[in-house]
Amino acid sequence: MAVFLVDNNEKVLIKTEQVIGEGSKQKFIEETKVIPAIKIVDIVPSVVNVRAIVKEGKVIVQGTLHKQVFFIGADGLEHHLAEDIDFSDLVEVEPVDPAFPVVTGLNEKTEVFVENLVFEFDPTTGELIQKVILAIEVKVTETRQLSVAQDVLGPVIKAQVVVGEGAKQKFIREEKTLEAIKIVDIVPRITNIRTHVKRGKVIVQGTLHKQIFYVGLDNIVHHIAEDIPFSDLVEVTPVPGRTVEEGDTAQDESTIENLVWEFDPETGRLIQKIILRLFEKVTETQEISVALNPYGPLINADVVIGRGVKQKFIEEHKTIEAIKIVDIVPSLRDITSIVKEGKVIVQGVLHQQIFFVGIDGLVHHIQEDVDFSEMVEIEPLDPTRPAQEGMDQQDHSVIENLVFEFDPDTGTLIKKVILRIEVVVTEHQQIRVQDP
């Protein structure tokens, strides 16, 4: 990919994953077991349940090596044996910038795959020796807000563009009575956050969860948990040149700013005063052309390879016992896509809710599903980099139109639906962007 250094006043604020460090390691697993076989047909390995934890300068990786062993038994028939081997390892991470080392709490993206598997089998003893090499690759990132320069000649990426931010303090006061002589501690946290973006603001709902530890009248430490639902409206200040609209995404970064309490051991009266800082960052998924800089911040990006659009016409005839169609409400469900060479195969379900007046004069409802599939040609942004199998895709299919005709004499219902199938093919890459 070409590198363009530009002095560009056009810039955009994005929320992205900046790469802090990377590391890789091979893991060797050997297993010896005895099975009642005369021949091994095949061994199919896979890696499942991968978990990782970022520590200082390293990542702890855990997972399970799952194997399907197919063999011919002493009875001459083919048998199958499944087995799991848990593994763990420590992967050292090399920081991109020594000034910003890998620390606990950062994000990680870990991939573990089987690099090689060989086995030896002795049919006289039934001894099976399996040797597996796993490749472990980790990438440590930190969620950051970056101002990046735009360049029409640079790569196009799908990014979360920041369109506005807003903050507000929320005061919560609660009073209760406990059979206690002393409050040991109160540990609060915010849970179940839900947000809804409106024009220029964000509706925030959540739960303030508290763990209260106290010494009871029996001089034993007790514990109670309590939840306080809350909601509020946060005004959002838009980034210059942008607006906050319904349909944008709110990313909540709310925190507990302060908690104080007063306790009267004579009455058991506990007064809690909590200040929440509700902070909302509103983003919109956009495709932007960014300027590259070989010395700029290294980010994980979904680089757009190409796009494709196609209309799909679906016509269906059916007979229902009705005198009138009230309404038909369609929706798309279970959309799946597979990227092939230069194209994307899209499959899904057209779900329809049909409301009608039956011959008994009452309103009835039926629902039906129509499976569909279509192949969409992908126009690459760069002719030298076409869409290839293994790349990612994002589906943006919608129902463009639905019309129906109904004959009450025969009960014949004809539905005509036009789908707009739109897909964007992307490839996950690490790129260095120009930070103005």
pLDDT tens string for the chain (436 positions)? 333 334 445 788 888 999 999 999 999 999 999 999 999 999 999 999 999 999 999 999 999 999 999 999 989 899 999 999 999 999 999 999 898 999 998 999 999 999 999 999 999 999 999 999 999 999 999 988 888 888 888 899 998 899 999 999 999 999 999 999 999 999 999 999 999 999 999 999 999 999 999 999 999 999 999 999 999 999 999 988 888 888 888 989 999 999 999 999 999 999 999 999 999 999 988 888 999 989 889 998 999 999 999 999 999 999 999 999 999 999 999 999 999 999 999 999 999 999 999 989 899 999 999 999 999 999 999 888 899 988 988 888 999 999 999 999 899 999 999 999 999 999 988 999 988 7
| pLDDT for 7 | 43
Amino acid at 5: L
Q: How far is CA 316 from the centre of its chain?
A: 36
Total number of domains constituting the chain: 3
Q: Do 91 and 179 belong together in one domain?
A: no
> Are residues 63 and 96 located together in one domain of the fold?
yes
Task: Please tell me whether residues 29 and 94 are part of one structural domain.
Answer: yes
Question: Which of 430, 406, 426 shows the shortest CA–CA distance to 416?
Answer: 406
Q: Do 123 and 231 lie in a common domain?
A: no
Q: Return the DSSP state at 150.
A: B
- Rounded Cα distance between 435 and 12, Å, is 10
- Are both 305 and 278 inside the same structural domain? no
Cα–Cα nearest to 351, from 306, 297, 399 = 399
Label residues 225-255 b or e (16+ Cβ within 10 Å = b).
eeeeeeeeebebebbeebebeeebebbbebe
Domain that holds residue 309: 301-432
Q: Identify residue 393 by its one-letter amino acid code.
A: Q
> Domain boundary residue among 88, 107, 140?
140
Q: Which of 424, 269, 411, 407 is nearest to 339 (CA)?
A: 424
At residue 1, the pLDDT reads 35
User: Residue 6 has what pLDDT?
Assistant: 41
CB hemisphere CA count around 144 (13 angstroms):
17
> Do 215 and 242 fall into the same domain?
yes
- Single-letter amino acid, residue 162: V
DSSP state letter for 430: E
The pTM score is 0.70
- Contact in structure between 212 and 186 (CB atoms under 8 Å): yes
Residue 318 lies in a domain: yes
State residue 237's pLDDT score.
92
Please indicate, yes or no, if residue 415 is contained in any of the structural domains.
yes
Within-domain flag for 159: no
Region label for 36, one of left (φ > 0), alpha (ψ between -120 and 50) or beta (otherwise): beta
Concatenated DSSP letters for 332-349? EEEEEEEEETTEEEEEEE
Residue 302: half-sphere exposure toward Cβ, Cα within 13 Å: 17
- Distance, in Å, from the CA atom of 369 to the CA atom of 222, rounded to the nearest integer, reads 55
Residues 246 and 326 in one domain: no
Closest Cα partner for 289 from 435, 423, 142, 159?
159
* Residue 291 domain-assigned (yes or no): no
Last residue of a domain, one of 282, 317, 332: 282
Is there a single domain that holds both residue 116 and residue 45?
yes
Whether residue 339 lies inside any domain: the answer is yes
Please indicate, yes or no, whether residues 274 and 211 belong to a single structural domain of this protein.
yes
The answer to the question of residue 388 being in a domain is yes
Q: What share of the chain is helix, strand, coil (3-state, %, to 5)?
A: 0, 75, 25
Token code pair at residue 128 = 């099976």
Alpha carbons 198 and 280: distance in angstroms, whole number = 12
d(CA 298, CA 84): 37
Tokens of 256: 């507990």
Which of 107, 124, 140 is the last residue before a domain boundary? 140
Same domain (yes/no): 130, 240 = no
In a domain, 44, yes or no: yes
Q: Decide if 147 is inside a domain.
A: no
Number of residues that this document lists for the chain: 436
| Residues 327 and 417 grouped into a single domain | yes
Query: Are 200 and 307 within one domain?
Result: no
Q: Given the DSSP bridges, would you call strands 156-177 and 11-34 parallel, antiparallel or unpaired? A: antiparallel
